[in-house]
Amino acid sequence: MNTEQFISQIATASIEALYGKVEPQMVQIQKTRKEFEGDYTLVTFPLLRMSRLAPEATAQAIGEHIVANNPSISGYNVIKGFLNLSLSPAYWSDMAEQIASAERYGFAEPTNRNVMIEYSSPNTNKPLHLGHIRNNLLGYSVAQILKANGHNVIKVNLVNDRGIHICKSMLAWQLYGGGETPASSGMKGDHLVGKYYVEFDKHYKAEVKELVAGGMSEEEAKKQAPIMLKAQEMLRKWEAKDEEVYSLWQTMNGWVYEGFDVTYKALGVDFDKVYYESQTYLLGKSLVQDGLDKGVFFRKEDGSVWIDLEADGLDQKLLLRGDGTSVYMTQDLGTALSRFEENQLDDMIYVVGNEQNYHFQVLKLVLKKLGYEWSDNIYHLSYGMVELPEGKMKSREGTVVDADDLIEDMVSTAREMSAELGKLDGCSEAEADAVCRMVGLGALKYFILKVDPKKTMLFDPRESIDFNGNTGPFIQYTHARICSILRKADEAGIEYKSAAFGDMIAEEVELVKHLSQLPTVIAQAGETHSPSLIAAFAYELAKQFNGYYHDHSILREECEATKAMRLRLAATVARTLRQTMSLLGIEVPERM
């Protein structure tokens, strides 16, 4: 039981002793604001109907009853209708012991709830970029947080491996590639394919310009450009399973998958299952027929199938083209149904940018109208775009921030800044390499994940590798610093692993108070799908420990019992930093 639950329990007991049965939602507990004395606050306004007293009198009566009946509460004060309760030093000593003794304090017991989370979802016509990095890091971290909440988590990737955009890269490679391969060029496969996507766009624009110069309207020129007509013909051949086109498609997609795997490994993300759009795009057609049979959908004169959502404040939505071909919505309906049925899912989370908010609103509504109650358990984890000081990225023009380049730049910058600050002194070359990769990736991941997912963010690589302030490297360095203290203690033969938490000073109690919040933070991060809550907790813990360590000696403390207690508290802080950062997919070094 965490502290908030404990306070809620004893407050409920006192309220019921004084006024009778109380509904759980009426017992509102929150952390006491910093400007007031106390640890937790009971809001009495919901209880006034029961007490039939003024807010202050109600708070006074409940406070007196709680203190008289609970030795863990050392005192209380009343500010208007708010009852501020102070926990006793003995309570915090017991809490410190509970936290230090639990290897996974704050992590929930198994819930047997099956949750699928889809993230990454790249196209196979270009390499991963900065926007994909936010998606992957967010998806992976939310999966880790949901596991910490006791759920069974299935991480999946849906690769967009078909469509006109793929054919553009294929055609440009055929026309201008001269047989170039990843092996012959020395390029990663995804980079090579992306190169020809940009090449297609260059030739397409030149052809459009030439047609416009010849008197054609720009709109017509875009439709009639020869290279675009060839790409559309290639797509038709792919759908007809033309042997030559299909073989080229398999070859070039294979190059891309090998490239993606390298990037995923460097980022430290993985998947339990990969779906391919070429295998799922036909799913959903039977659902469309089902919707027609039920009268939920309607067919237009051209044979296309639609649903009218105007009564729900939306518009009419296309579900199947007149020629019988699928649209994204057709596929997503079928994929959702097959996933829920095959995996007995309780929840399905899609990590997709906020430009798709409307799409997922429609998806849920259509499934609901088809009678699938589990549609309420579909959640779109919508996130804002990542912007750069120079503005937005454009794949077609080759102006994106490439994921591989960014990762290596982060590692290189981490090495440069670590060396300047002497953080690598005494490290072997192998240790320095490992630390710089940890710090560079930790900086990148933390900088992205500390921002609320819904917000658009501006990415600044150098700012992210600051060893002071709210950054990954600051937290990583705090962990390494504690590890250094513990190594020295071990070398000196100091036994601290079973030290008692006796009389703690105020700063030590504050550290324990913060540590005790972890179960609540993990639960809230799981409910809101927000790694930023975990990041904020880890930063505040690191900041508090650094302030404490600056003012109070650990290894030079003369009292042996106090020294051992401080070492055990420090070890608990290090373990908690390690575990919370792992929820963000971030490793923490033991030396730096």
**Per-residue confidence at 396, pLDDT binned at 50, 70, 90?**
very low
pLDDT category, 397, cuts 50, 70, 90? very low
In this prediction, what percent of the chain has a pLDDT beyond 70? 98
Give the CA dihedral 129, 134, 135, 140, nearest 10 degrees.
Answer: 120
> Is 134 buried (19+), middle (13-18) or exposed (0-12) by CB count in 10 A?
buried
CB atoms within 10 A of CB 556: 7
Q: How far apart are CA 326 and CA 449, in angstroms?
A: 35
Check if the beta carbon of residue 310 is closer than 8 Å to that of residue 159: no
Kindly tell me if the per-residue pLDDT of 391 is higher than 60: no
Please give the average per-residue pLDDT across 237-252, as a whole number. 94
Task: Tell me the sheet residues that pair with 84.
Answer: 41, 77
Domain 3-87 grouped into CATH 3.30.1360.70: yes
Is residue 473 within 8 A of residue 439, CB to CB? The reply is: yes
Element (H, E) at 245: helix 243-267
| pLDDT classification of 390: cutoffs 50, 70, 90 | low
DSSP-derived 3-state class of residue 115 = strand
The residue with greater pLDDT, 366 or 397, is 366
Question: Cα(first)–Cα(last) distance of the chain, in Å?
Answer: 36
pLDDT tops 70 at residue 76:
yes
CA distance 581 to 577: 6
Q: Residue 232: is its pLDDT beyond 70?
A: yes
- Confidence class of residue 261 from pLDDT cuts 50, 70 and 90? very high
DSSP-assigned letters across all residues of 404-422:
HHHHHHHHHHHHHHHHHTT
Using alpha carbons only, give the angle 148, 153, 158 rounded to the nearest 5 degrees.
Answer: 135
pLDDT tens column, 7-62: 999 999 999 999 999 999 999 999 999 899 999 999 999 999 999 999 999 999 99
Q: Is the pLDDT at 221 greater than 50, yes or no?
A: yes
Q: How far apart are CA 93 and CA 101, in angstroms?
A: 12
Q: For residue 492, give the 3-state DSSP assignment.
A: coil
User: Does residue 479 have a pLDDT over 60?
Assistant: yes
Write out pLDDT tens, residues 274-329. Answer: 999 888 877 888 899 999 999 999 999 999 999 999 999 999 999 998 888 788 89
* pLDDT score at 162: 87
Residue 92 predicted with pLDDT over 60: yes
pLDDT tens track for 418-455:
888 887 787 788 888 898 999 999 999 999 999 999 99
Question: Which pair of tokens denotes residue 59?
Answer: 């708070």
DSSP state of 107: P
What pLDDT, on the 0 to 100 scale, is given for residue 430? 86
At residue 393, does pLDDT exceed 50?
Answer: no
Report the top-level CATH class of 89-162+343-592: mainly alpha
Position 554 pLDDT exceeds 70: yes
pLDDT in tens, 330-386: 889 999 999 999 999 999 999 999 999 999 999 999 999 999 999 999 999 999 988
Does pLDDT of 163 surpass 60? yes
Q: Give the single-character DSSP code of 504.
A: -
Lookup: tokens for 267: 């980022």
Residue 139 and residue 445 in contact, taking contact as beta carbons nearer than 8 Å: no
Mean pLDDT score of the chain, rounded to an integer?
93
Give CA–CA dist 55/80, Å, rounded. Answer: 6
Decide if 479 contacts 549 (C-beta within 8 A).
no
Find the mean pLDDT for residues 78-97: 95
Q: What is the pLDDT of residue 315?
A: 93
How far lies 263's CA from each of 99, 121, 131, 141, 408, in Å? Answer: 37, 14, 14, 17, 11
Mean pLDDT of 487-509: 95
Q: What is the pLDDT of residues 97-151, one digit of tens each?
A: 999 999 999 999 999 999 999 999 999 998 998 889 999 999 999 999 999 999 9
Q: Where does the pLDDT of residue 399 fall: very low under 50, low under 70, confident under 90, or very high at 90 and above?
A: low
Residue type, 333: L
Overall pTM > 0.95: no
Q: Is 171 exposed, middle or buried (0-12, 13-18, 19+ CB in 10 A)?
A: buried
Q: How far apart are CA 162 and CA 325, in angstroms?
A: 13
Q: How far apart are CA 442 and CA 478, in angstroms?
A: 13
Rounded to whole angstroms, the Cα distance separating 538 from 578 reads 9
Domain boundaries, the chain: 3-87, 89-162+343-592, 164-265
* Per-residue pLDDT at 547 exceeds 90: yes
Q: How far apart are CA 246 and CA 432, in angstroms?
A: 46
